[in-house]
Structures are given as structure tokens and as C-alpha cells.
Chain A
Amino acid sequence: MSSTIRIEHVSKSFEAGKPVLRDLNLEIRPSEIVSLLGPSGCGKSTLLRLLSGLERDHEGHLLIDGQEVLAPTRAVGLMFQEPRLLPWLTVRNNILFGLNARDRRQADGLAQELMEQVQLSGCADLLPRQLSGGMAQRVALARALATEPGVLLLDEPFSAVDALTRMRLQELLLSVWQRRRFTMLLVTHDIDEALYLSDRVAVLSGRPATVREIVHVDLPRPRDRRAAEMLRLRAYLLEALRIAGAPQLTGYGTPFGV
């Protein structure tokens, strides 16, 4: 299961505010991994929220497998910055939360399989308060995948864990992706994360966000984080990001772009 995402001329502004997104275009092929990299507060998350159907009232078209996104559907999985587990449910029941009652009854196998894939076998009956940050985020990943979505949207999913845990989670995400081949769109402000995971990195400008540049990462997986080509791309993206963020630092008369 994997889907195509098409973002066509999408603009969005909130009431009484500057536009957040302006004429944004991006097409993502089935099973492709694309990262959105941009200055903080540039509207990356808004784009994900629009694609997941959580946010509405935009101009342009958001299409998943040719279908306009109107409301949240089970075809699109979303992983938030925080795990957002339901604290009163066990790991197993959190993972199966998105399934309706009928499917949940036959879901033992699915829960087992997902827990294995996110390396949480044996944790089925733990409560969220007993989990570390990294474990909780793995449960969140399993929950997002339980409805077998063709698209997985990730909103800075590993930004709240320590560096080592983050690297492990990135590897785990890739190993799950290699089995399930969903299409991934990832919002991040971590250049290394974007380079390690993505087929393409879309650099966004500051508010209102638009795609400034698309960088292809044609390296086989698993990637060596310290390979010369990775370091070269890293320096390149850093510069691209600096330029993309520049107007925000000086423009609109607000100091520091706040």
C-alpha cells in the first residue's frame, strides 16, 4: 500500500494573519520519502495538518491518489511531535486505537506484528507512564501504521528525544518502511535527519512558505551518516536553509522574525 501525494498551488492563511503558505507545489511518488526542511515557524506543520485533514480552508489542491483531502481518513497516518498516547490505554490498545471495534476484535495478529516491527514485543500490557520517550514514540509509530495507511506524515517526530535515541528511531523507521513501503512526508528542522531518511529534501522559504529548492539524495540505504557525499549535501543544505530563512530575519520590521 502506497499512495501518491500531489500538492498543487496550495496557499493558506489564518484569520487576521499573514499568509502561511503561498503557491506551494510538490509531487511525491508512491513509496518515496520526502523531507520538508525550513526555518522554524515557516508553516511546514501547517502543510502536514492540511494534508491530514486536520486543518481546512486552503486554496489550491491537495490530492492523495487523486482524491481531494476533505477530512482525516484512515488512508493517511500522522505522527505528531509528541507521542500523544492515551494514558489510560495499554500499549496494545493504543496501537489498535484507530481501528474500529469490529476490526479490533480480530487484531491480535496485527498488534503482535506491529509491536515486533517497532521492537516492543512483550510491552503490550504496559501503560504509557511506564514508557521512556523513545518507546512512547515507537508506540505512536505503530498506532499510525495500524490502519495500514498509504501515506505516513511525520511532524518533527523525533525532535523530543536525545541524539542517540533519535538515530535509532530513524533506523527503525526505515526498517518499517522497507517492509511496508508507505509514502512518507516528513517535516523536520534537522538537516542530518532529512539527509539520512529522504529521497528528496524540499527546502522551504520563511513565511509565507513556498518550495525554494529540491535536493535529491541519490545514495543507497542504509546510509553512512559520515560519507563524503552526505557531508557535502549537508553543507549545501545549510547554506540553502540560511538563504531561505534570511528574509525572515530582516523583513517585516519584526526583530528576529518573531
Chain B
Amino acid sequence: MQPNLPVVRSAPVSSGKASRQPARGKQIALALSVPLVLIAAWFVTTEAAPLFRPNQLPSPTQVLHTAAELAAGGDLTRHVSASIGRVLSGFIIGASLALLVAVAVGLSKTVERAFDPTLQAVRNVPSLAWVPFLLLWMGIGETPRITLIAIGAFFPVYVNLVSGIRNVDRKLVEVGYVFGLSRADLVRRIIVPAALPYLLTGLRVGLGQAWLFLVAAELIASVSGLGFMLIDGQNNARPDIMLVAILTLALLGKLSDSLLRAVERRALAWTDTFQGR
């Protein structure tokens, strides 16, 4: 009698993730090097060896001074919190609607044929083109602004999630069929998790779009927000105020993207994909 082969537990294959990553400090230093060089160049061309007049390009110290002034007076906080509030509500509304519509379109060819062409047409309307129309319909106030931001956040989430759903491995969906999952369970337990990488990309791009549309939204007879600060700076010939608004927008945009990226990293720890070299 041939002896049975022993079944030994094979060691888990190491994932290879997180290797080749330089130390965190090094990463941060590398990421900061570009902005630091830019600020140095800005400083040199405005103060050390002035190439620009202050009413064209104010120096970094002047901008910092203006920012401190605006912060001390409470204006900066007021504008920033007004803008964050608008971006968040617009983003949440737009992204939630996109989630529902994308699942419906992703699951059914018929729904796709009915709705997708129209949505693609609407998607290509430039953000500013909406402004007069939204004003006419909703009057002056928060509603048209948040609506505009929601429109901006909707499409990246919609487009990415639909293609995510259409990229779900048919073989995994079949596993759901084998266990007799209901349609709702199939969506919840297989399709949405499998499309999660696409959904999270959509959310990140959508949040970025929300910030882009914010400025357009705050051109609508606004009295607060970073977009208003820009207009205000323009009207009063204060490029320093404009720069404070622009830099704050850049900072907030980067910060919100980093937050979503952190969520993404945690939620997608299971993926086994190329991470770049």
C-alpha cells in the first residue's frame, strides 16, 4: 500500500505590499521639496530681486501677513467654513444620487440605454453654463450653489461606478448565483464590494470636482466663501487676498483628497494589484 502523502499546511505567500516603500519622513520631505522650491522662487522674484510689482504679484511675506490679518479678523474662518459646508453638502447629495443611479444603470442594459445618453449629454455642460439657469430657477441663496456642486460631484462618481460594476468578474457573480443570493444581496455582497476600487476613485475625483464647482457656485451673488474672497480681491485690486483664497483652496483640496485616500487605503487593503515601483 502506498503511504498517503502528508498534507502539510503551506505557508502563506507574502503579499509583497508595503515593501520598497521609503521611510515616512523621506516621503514627506520628497513631497514638500517641490512647493518649497516654488515658494523660494516666489520669494526671490518678489523681494530679493524684484521682477514683479507688488500689485501684480505680492511677496510671500505680504500674503502671509494678509492671511494672518484675515484670520485674526475672523473673515478667513467665516469664508473657509462657508465653503467647506457647501462642498460637503453638495458632495454628499451628488455622490449619493450618483450611487443610486449608477447601480441602476450598471445592473441593467435597458436602464443604461434609456438614461446614459442623456446623462452623458448633461455631463458635458460646462459648470459656468449652469449658473444663470440655476439662478433663474432657484433664486439667490444656498440652494443653487449646493445644486451646482452636487452636479459637479455626481458625474465622476456615476461614470466610475458604472464602469466598476461592468468590470466585476462574471465568475464572482456566479458564486452569488450558486448560493441563491437575492438581487439585493448580490448587489450588496458581491457587486458593490467588487466595484469598490472604482467607486473610491469616483469619490476622490468627485470631491475634487466639488471644489472646482464651488468657485463657480460662489460667483452666484455670494457674500461669503473663498470664491467670494477672489471676487472681492479683484474688485478692490488686492492680489494678496486673491492669493490667500487660491492657496487656501489648494490646501483644502489636497487635505480632503488625502482624507479620502486614507479611507481608500483602508477599504482596499484586500486588493492585489500593481502599486507602482
Contacts and interface: CB of A to CB of B under 8 A. Distances in A.
A72 B186 CA distance: 14
B174 A84 contact: yes
Contacts of A97: 175, 179, 189
B126 to A, nearest CB: 38
Category for how many chain B residues contact A: 20 to 34
Contact of A72 (B172, B179, B196, B272): B179
A80 B270 CA distance: 22
A120 B12 CA distance: 11
Category for how many chain A residues contact B: 35 or more
Interface in A73-92: 73-74, 78, 80, 82, 84, 86-89
Interface stretch (A204-212, A219-227, A237-245): A219-227
A45 B244 CA distance: 67
A84 B171 contact: yes
Interface stretch (B1-9, B112-120, B215-223): B1-9
Contacts of A127: 269-270
Interface stretch (A4-12, A14-22, A33-41, A167-175): A167-175
B10 A135 contact: yes
Interface string B1-39: 110110101101111000000000000000000000000
A72 B2 contact: no
B165 to A, nearest CB: 15
Interface in A51-89: 52, 54, 71-74, 78, 80, 82, 84, 86-89
Contacts, number: 81
A132 interface: yes
Contacts of A131: 12-13
A225 B3 CA distance: 10
B13 to A, nearest CB: 6
A123 B12 contact: yes
Contact of A54 (B5, B177, B271): B177
A87 B178 contact: no
A183 interface: no
Contact of A119 (B9, B179, B269): B9
B161 interface: no
Contacts of B190: 86
A134 interface: yes
Contact of A82 (B7, B171, B193): B171
A126 interface: yes
B180 interface: yes
Contact of B7 (A72, A80, A126, A171): A171
B178 A54 contact: yes
A129 B4 contact: no
Contacts of A98: 178-179
Contact of B2 (A87, A119, A172, A225): A225
A164 interface: yes
Contacts of B171: 80, 82, 84
Given A119-B7, A168-B5, A87 B180 contact: no
A171 B12 contact: no
Contact of A52 (B13, B172, B178, B270): B178
Contact of B13 (A54, A80, A84, A130): A130
Contacts of B5: 164, 167-168, 171
Given A74-B180, A86-B175, A87-B270, A132 B10 contact: yes
B4 A222 contact: yes
Interface of A: 52, 54, 71-74, 78, 80, 82, 84, 86-89, 97-98, 119-120, 122-123, 126-132, 134-135, 147, 164, 167-168, 171-172, 222, 224-226
Interface of B: 1-2, 4-5, 7, 9-10, 12-15, 171-172, 174-175, 177-180, 189-190, 193-194, 196, 269-272
Q: Which 5 A-B pairs have the closest CB atoms?
A: A129-B272, A98-B179, A88-B270, A224-B2, A130-B12
14 contacts: A71-B180, A78-B178, A80-B174, A84-B175, A86-B175, A87-B270, A88-B270, A97-B175, A122-B9, A130-B13, A131-B13, A135-B10, A147-B179, A171-B7
Given A74-B180, A86-B190, A130-B14, 4 more contacts: A86-B194, A127-B269, A130-B15, A132-B13
